[in-house]
Amino acid sequence: MGLVNVLFGRPLASIEDLGERITPAQGIPTFGLDALSSAAYGPEAALTVLLPLGLAGVRYIAPLTAAIIVLLTIVYFSYRQTIAAYPTGGGSYTVAKENLGHRAGLLAAAALMIDYLLNVAVGISAGIGALVSAVPSLQKHTLALCLVVLAILTIVNLRGVREAGSAFLAPTYLFVGTLGMVIVIGLYQVIATGGHPRAAVEPPHLPAATGAVGLWLLLRAFASGCTALTGVEAVSNGVQAFREPVVPAARKTLTTIVAILIGLLAGIAALVHYYGITATDPGQPGYQSVLAMVTAAVAGKGIFYDFTMFSVLLVLCLSANTSFADFPRLCRAVALDDYLPHGLAVRGRRLVYTEGILGLAIFAAALLIMFGGVTDRLIPLFAVGAFLAFTLSQAGMVAHWRRAANGAEAIHSMLINGLGAVATGITVVVVVAAKFMEGAWVVVLLLPAALMLMVWVRRHYQQVTQELQAKDIGMAPRHPPIVIVPMERWNAATQKALRFAMTLSPDVQAVHVTCEGDDSILGEWRSVVEEPAREAGVSVPKLVSLGSPYRLVLKPVVEHVLKVEKENRHRMVAVVVPTMVERHWYHYLLHNQRAAVLTALLLLRGERRINIVNVPWYLRA
């Protein structure tokens, strides 16, 4: 366990749970990395759609960002209320399930799971993408680097939620700090120059317009910019991770995250506007990210530029951490309702839901490997899940207030959540419509598949529970079982097995397969078993000899056992298998694995009255 303890930390007892709870300061990196990192790609995504408008496109970034900030504010107030109403963890799944029914809950859960999974793959590959475009010699290691980051995130999260929060504190504040400085310095220059700042490094010339502005283009730009909102729901899912009292702590964390995000979005939009910066085509040579151009324009390409870019790529990589914090909690909630394997609800040695973390890591690794570490094509799939979950969650809150409807406060709350539901609902429609052909259809197909799978899992568990119903021990008359001992030759291992068999029942039969004419055991049997047993006055075991024309040793035994069971309708059968236990793995090559194969065969082909007894024989080390 040495290495395990070093990697994952010592096991935590259940009563240590409270010590693992986090403060708001740790909550920001734990639950906020996804939301904050979207400041790095939300504005860029909108500007890329506006590219065909040339210089005119830049003019629309301010109103678009304003719209996105309004939507963000609505969503913020909605989730503030959700946190208060569901202090035990009000993820979209719980809220939708309790207020709109199980189907709506499952739809929200499936949408969020897809969103979280995509977030891991896209976040890591965006960060590594930024790294390899800065250091081209690393290009050929793209996939390996992605997997290393994934492995680090997995290990840190397996160490427990508190450690993950602490580990990612520094990069988060570095990102917010450097980007904040860029914005403050830039805005100061804008004001000092009366709205006409001179860029330290000139951004690329704006391309000529190739299209006209239209409602559809603006809607698509808005839909793309909305990726900036993904991750805002994370805090409401993980309320129980905070120190008591949980509600104020969670609310404080959410407020801080959203305030910072709004500041970053507004600041970037203003600088883009005043410095006249637009996106460059990511497919073309000379591509620079919007953040890179903004930073260069404000601060030049010195050490501060490098530092800022490094913090951006670090935060992009780590934005996957939000998924690691929330995905396992979501899976746990769904598993507790029998819709996912129960193992997802078990807390591991560090009080986190180990199987959920591993499941997320495996799926994300598969996605990364499938796309070779470059997941650009997955980005259009991204916002659909998040906004669908938003909508269902807000709609659920409306139903919640309606039932609780007493007085003006409830109506006020209902209005806020209703506004949120309508706004995010419209956004879902816009996002799906705008990005359907680019890949959103994959999500539209995946969702019902995930729903069906979860319903199937639940049906299976219900069926098993029904099958397993038992009243009491039910004392019908019971005989000792018929005990069968398969025996290749007479030795200490079979002797031990036979002796043990004789303690279980007076009806013992040894079964021997005569293979290629070797029946030396028959003569031995009389002298080593029959006579001593008769002398001791105990009931004498029977020897059954089976032929095997095809040299198979196990098949005749299995068939004999099945026959004995069939002929004795009211008796249990116990097959005593002498099992050689190897102390070293390489001993496996030297001994046949017939005991293991026989056990498996009997379990698979057996009926309800056949039981298997393994009598181990230990080889000396």
Q: Which of residues 331-390 bind its own copies (CB under 8 A)?
A: 341-343, 346-349
Q: How far is the CB of 167 from its own copies (least distance, A)?
A: 23
Place of tokens 């021997």: 512
Q: Which is nearer to its own copies, 52 or 606 (CB)?
A: 606
471 binds its own copies (CB under 8 A): yes
Considering only the stretches 13-21, 265-273, 274-282, 415-423, report the one whose residues sit in contact with its own copies under the rule CB under 8 A.
13-21
Q: Is 527 in the site for its own copies (CB under 8 A)?
A: yes
Total Cβ atoms within 10 A of residue 124: 28
C-alpha distance from residue 162 to each of 10, 20, 247, 255, 347 (Å): 14, 6, 18, 20, 15
**What is the C-alpha to C-alpha distance for residues 240 and 113, in angstroms, rounded to an integer?**
19
Q: Is 15 in the site for its own copies (CB under 8 A)?
A: yes
Contact residue for its own copies among 11, 101, 211, 302 (CB under 8 A): 11
Per CB under 8 A, the list member of 1, 194, 503, 567 interacting with its own copies is 503
532-591 residues near its own copies, rule: CB under 8 A: 532-533, 535-536, 538, 549-552, 572, 574, 579, 581, 587, 589-591
Rounded Cα–Cα distance for residues 396 and 424 (Å): 13
Picking from 612, 516, 39, the residue whose alpha carbon sits closest to that of residue 290 is 39
Residue 621 within binding range of its own copies, rule CB under 8 A: no
509 binds its own copies (CB under 8 A): no
Q: What distance in Å separates the CA atoms of residue 203 and residue 359, rounded to the nearest whole number?
A: 43
Residue 615 CB, shortest distance to its own copies, in Å, is 5
Give the nearer residue to its own copies in terms of CB position, either 449 or 464. Answer: 464
Token pair 């591993």 in the structure block, residue = 358
Tell me the closest approach of the beta carbon of residue 3 to its own copies, in angstroms.
18
Q: How many CB atoms lie within 10 A of CB 618?
A: 11
- Figure out which of the listed residues 3, 475, 569, 570 binds its own copies, where binding follows CB under 8 A: 475
User: Is the CB of 126 or the CB of 497 nearer to its own copies?
Assistant: 497
Q: Give the tokens for residue 71.
A: 């939507």
We find the least distance from the C-beta atom of residue 494 to its own copies, in angstroms, to be: 8
What is the C-alpha to C-alpha distance for residues 46 and 39, in angstroms, rounded to an integer? 11
Instruction: Specify the DSSP class assigned to residue 481.
Output: P
Q: Are 32 and 79 contacting, i.e. CB atoms less than 8 angstroms apart? A: no
User: In whole angstroms, what is the distance from residue 343 CA to residue 130 CA?
Assistant: 37
Question: Is 6 exposed, middle or buried (CB count within 10 Å of its CB: 0-12, 13-18, 19+)?
Answer: exposed
Instruction: Tell me how far, at minimum, the Cβ of 159 lies from its own copies, in Å.
Output: 15
Residue 6 beta carbon to its own copies: minimum distance, rounded to whole angstroms: 18
Report if residue 18 touches its own copies, rule: CB under 8 A: no
For its own copies, the closer CB: 212 or 468: 468
Q: Which residues of 451-481 are buried (b: 16+ CB within 10 A; e: fewer)?
A: beebeebbeebeeeeeeeeeeeeeeeeeeeb
Among candidate residues 381, 390, 379, 383, the one with its CA nearest the CA of residue 425: 390
Residue 184: C-alpha distances to residues 178, 296, 459 (Å): 10, 14, 57
Nearer to its own copies, 265 or 613 (CB): 613
Q: How far is CA 175 from CA 170, 320, 472, 581, in A?
A: 9, 15, 62, 56
Q: Which of residues 187, 358, 374, 457 is near its own copies by CB under 8 A?
A: 457
Q: Pick the closer one to its own copies by CB: 75 or 610.
A: 610
Is 419 or 544 the residue whose CB approaches its own copies more closely?
544
Measured at the CA of 454, the angle between CA 452 and CA 458, to 5 degrees, comes to 115
In sequence order, the β-bridge partners of residue 476 are none
Give every CB contact of residue 372 below 8 A, 6+ residues apart in sequence: 142, 143
Choice between 21 and 273, CB closer to its own copies: 21
> What is the closest distance, in whole angstroms, from the C-beta atom of residue 517 to its own copies in the complex?
8
Nearer to its own copies by Cβ, of 152 and 522: the residue is: 522
CB of 381 or CB of 513, closer to its own copies = 513
Nearer of residues 198 and 620 to its own copies, judged by Cβ: 620
Instruction: Kindly tell me which of 198 and 551 has the beta carbon lying closer to its own copies.
Output: 551
Per-residue binding letters, 120-159, with its own copies (x by CB under 8 A): ----------------------------------------
Q: Which of positions 287-316 make contact with its own copies (CB under 8 A)?
A: none
Residue (47 or 573) nearer to its own copies, CB:
573
Q: Hey, what are 124's tokens?
A: 């890591």
Q: Is there a contact between 386 and 110 (Cβ–Cβ < 8 Å)?
A: no
Cβ of residue 162: shortest distance to its own copies, in angstroms? 17
Interface residue with its own copies, options 502, 521, 543, 557 (CB under 8 A): 502
Q: Which two tokens stand for residue 568?
A: 């004795």
The answer to whether residue 478 forms part of the interface with its own copies (CB under 8 A) is yes
Tokens (6 digits) for 571: 């008796």
Residue from the set 3, 18, 303, 604 that interacts with its own copies by CB under 8 A: 604
Dihedral of the CA atoms 86, 88, 92, 93 (nearest 10)?
Answer: -120
For residue 19, the minimal CB distance to its own copies (Å) is: 14
Q: 138 Cβ partners below 8 Å, 6+ apart?
A: 131, 132, 145
User: In the set 494, 513, 557, 561, which binds its own copies (CB under 8 A)?
Assistant: 494
Minimum distance between the CB of residue 368 and its own copies, rounded to whole angstroms? 22
Least Å distance, CB 412 to its own copies, is 39
**Binding residue for its own copies (CB under 8 A) from 468, 567, 569, 585?**
468
Binders of its own copies in range 392-411 (CB under 8 A) = none
User: Out of 490, 543, 564, 598, which residue is the one contacting its own copies (CB under 8 A)?
Assistant: 490
The DSSP symbol for 506 reads S
Assign 609 to helix, strand or coil.
Answer: coil
Q: Which is nearer to its own copies, 255 or 568 (CB)?
A: 568
Q: Using CB under 8 A, pick the residue from 13, 184, 411, 449 that binds its own copies.
A: 13
Q: How far is the CB of 107 from its own copies (least distance, A)?
A: 22
